[in-house]
């Protein structure tokens, strides 16, 4: 039975709320290419991907999926899918060459063209201001551990709101500040490749500050009807055993991996246990009066990126560890279950756990699943078709869990599938394919996979098939 047969069989459809937003997601450095075109200057990922040994096969985002030149074709693909929304990111180095000062009009023009193409296709643009591509000049000046970077980010946010605020209704300040702070400055597996727990904590705070200042800049420039958001990759944590030590391991990672952002942004405070856990690294004196009030400037929704759960137990972290204040106390264990090509377990229950936690912890905050999807080693058959039943199965199980969370009272307004296109998967280069559209990177030919057809049916029906009848 093909994936499409499942949808047309006699099943009990799991219907999503009327007006539910169905989207796809991408990021500038992962798909655009044109890395030196129209004034774009290097980001930390241009530098990092050119550093020997940092990215699989020495791959870079120089060409990627050549979206900068093929954007109309990619929007047409989304139109055929029937998506209501498209989550993309804006390359800061395309807009401000040094991260400061006047905007580059040709850079702004690309995003104006993209937004107009989307609107003409009846697709709602959802703009992310920062998806990890910090202008290298700002990194040279100290990067996110430096407070000034947050000030520059707020200026950039204002420029983008002035340029696109009349046409873009949903804005996300940051994508996954945890990855940018702890993988970029903690264990160095992401750009800029620095390894200092103090710097990762400073970066995390300055991301919270940058987010708050950017929200204020956006509010000043945008129509009152605009939606301002933040996207976090919160960790769905499970203890290996119910022992006190393993439960404390969960607490530690929840503090440094989740509440380090949730508490400042939604409560205007730092978690007390995080301050205790990190006392050997910092006294947090870089947090100034007013910073947490700024960080907690109200937003309209929270985006959640989810892929798989995390199992922890008392013990020592693998090294080099990104986990400031936890590395001597926490072990990470492989969660059971089938794996994706990222070796991530397929476990939709973690999405349900995360969403219902936020239902209880953040009552009244609308949620968006801003990323969910899976990489598999896809195979194009001789006719060019990509039969990807594992991806369909992953998506089906996670949409079922999402539906269950909504039924349980969680206010989730939309789902953005990661990703529209096969793209540059950071340190994995092009070796991992997350797209529902296959990209032949030699020819740049796009081929919708079977999962794209399946997703188009889900969108058309606003439902995912439930249990079989009888």
**Contacts with ligand GCO, residue ranges (CB under 6 A):** 27, 30, 175-176, 179, 233, 305, 371, 418, 425, 434
CA torsion through residues 341, 343, 349, 350, sign: negative
* Angstrom distances, CA of residue 17 to CA of 323, 461, 464: 38, 11, 12
- Taking the complex as a whole, the smallest distance from the CB of residue 179 to ligand GCO amounts, in Å, to 6
Identify whether the C-beta of residue 41 lies closer than 8 Å to the C-beta of residue 144.
no
Which residue in 139, 176, 227, 450 is the catalytic one?
176
* Angstrom distances, CA of residue 261 to CA of 58, 174, 255: 33, 11, 9
Q: Which residues pair with 239 in a beta bridge?
A: 312
- Taking the complex as a whole, the smallest distance from the CB of residue 385 to ligand GCO amounts, in Å, to 24
Rank residues 176 and 353 by Cβ distance to ligand GCO and give the closer one: 176
Query: Helix or strand or coil: residue 318?
Result: coil
Instruction: Please say if 155 is a catalytic residue.
Output: no
Residue (of 54, 59, 28) closest to 43 by Cα position: 28
Q: Which residue is nearest to ligand GCO (CB)?
A: 305
Identify whether the C-beta of residue 68 lies closer than 8 Å to the C-beta of residue 75.
no
- Taking the complex as a whole, the smallest distance from the CB of residue 55 to ligand GCO amounts, in Å, to 13
Rank residues 47 and 282 by Cβ distance to ligand GCO and give the closer one: 47
- Taking the complex as a whole, the smallest distance from the CB of residue 75 to ligand GCO amounts, in Å, to 20
- Taking the complex as a whole, the smallest distance from the CB of residue 418 to ligand GCO amounts, in Å, to 5
The set of residues, in sequence order, having a beta carbon less than 8 Å from that of 224 and lying 6+ positions away, is none
- Taking the complex as a whole, the smallest distance from the CB of residue 375 to ligand GCO amounts, in Å, to 7
Rank residues 213 and 418 by Cβ distance to ligand GCO and give the closer one: 418
Rank residues 179 and 324 by Cβ distance to ligand GCO and give the closer one: 179
Instruction: Please say if 220 is a catalytic residue.
Output: no
Which residue in 227, 327, 353, 371 is the catalytic one?
371
The set of residues, in sequence order, having a beta carbon less than 8 Å from that of 254 and lying 6+ positions away, is 235, 237
Identify whether the C-beta of residue 21 lies closer than 8 Å to the C-beta of residue 415.
yes
Rank residues 97 and 229 by Cβ distance to ligand GCO and give the closer one: 229
Identify whether the C-beta of residue 99 lies closer than 8 Å to the C-beta of residue 93.
yes
Going by their DSSP bridges, the two strands 237-239 and 227-232 should be labelled as: unpaired
Identify whether the C-beta of residue 199 lies closer than 8 Å to the C-beta of residue 206.
no
Positions annotated as catalytic residues are 176, 371
């Amino acid at each position: 039975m093909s994936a499409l047969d499942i949808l047309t069989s006699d099943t009990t459809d799991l219907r999503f709320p009327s007006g539910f937003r169905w989207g796809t997601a991408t990021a500038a450095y992962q798909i655009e290419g044109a890395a030196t075109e129209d004034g774009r200057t290097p980001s930390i990922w241009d530098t990092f991907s050119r550093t020997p040994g940092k990215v699989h096969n020495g791959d870079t985002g120089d060409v990627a999926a050549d979206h900068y030149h093929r954007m109309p074709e990619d929007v047409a693909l989304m139109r055929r899918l029937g998506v209501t929304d498209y989550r993309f990111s804006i390359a800061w180095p395309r807009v401000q060459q040094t991260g400061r000062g006047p905007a580059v009009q040709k850079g702004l023009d690309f995003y104006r063209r993209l937004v107009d193409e989307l609107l003409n296709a009846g697709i709602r643009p959802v703009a992310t201001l920062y998806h990890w591509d910090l202008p290298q000049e700002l990194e040279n000046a100290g990067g996110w551990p430096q407070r000034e970077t947050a000030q520059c980010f707020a200026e950039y946010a204002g420029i983008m709101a002035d340029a696109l605020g009349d046409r873009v209704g949903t804005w996300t300040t940051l994508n996954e500040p945890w990855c940018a702070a702890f993988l970029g400055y903690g264990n160095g597996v992401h750009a800029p490749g620095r390894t200092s727990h103090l710097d990762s904590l400073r970066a995390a705070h300055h991301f919270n500050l940058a987010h708050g200042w950017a929200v204020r800049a956006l509010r000043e420039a945008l129509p009152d009807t605009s939606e301002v958001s933040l996207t976090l990759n919160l960790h769905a944590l499970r203890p290996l055993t119910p022992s006190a030590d393993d439960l404390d391991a969960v607490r530690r990672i929840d503090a440094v991996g989740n509440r380090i952002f949730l508490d400042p942004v939604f409560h205007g405070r730092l978690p007390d246990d995080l301050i205790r856990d990190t006392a050997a690294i910092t006294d947090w004196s870089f947090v100034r009066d007013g910073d947490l009030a700024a960080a907690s400037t109200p937003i309209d929704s929270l985006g959640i990126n989810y892929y798989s759960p995390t199992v922890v137990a008392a013990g020592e972290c693998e090294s080099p560890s990104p986990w400031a204040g936890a590395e001597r106390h926490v072990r990470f264990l492989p969660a059971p279950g089938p794996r994706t090509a990222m070796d991530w377990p397929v476990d939709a229950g973690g999405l349900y756990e995360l969403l219902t936690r936020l239902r209880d912890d953040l009552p009244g905050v609308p949620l968006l699943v801003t990323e969910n999807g899976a990489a598999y080693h896809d195979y194009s058959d001789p006719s060019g078709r990509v039969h990807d039943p594992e991806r369909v199965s992953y998506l089906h199980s996670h949409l079922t869990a999402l539906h269950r969370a909504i039924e349980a009272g969680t206010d989730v307004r939309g789902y953005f599938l990661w990703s529209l296109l096969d793209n540059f998967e950071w340190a994995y280069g092009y070796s991992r394919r997350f797209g529902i559209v296959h990209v032949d990177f030699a020819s740049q030919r796009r081929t919708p996979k079977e999962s794209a057809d399946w997703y188009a049916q889900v969108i058309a029906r606003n439902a995912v098939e439930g249990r079989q009848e009888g």
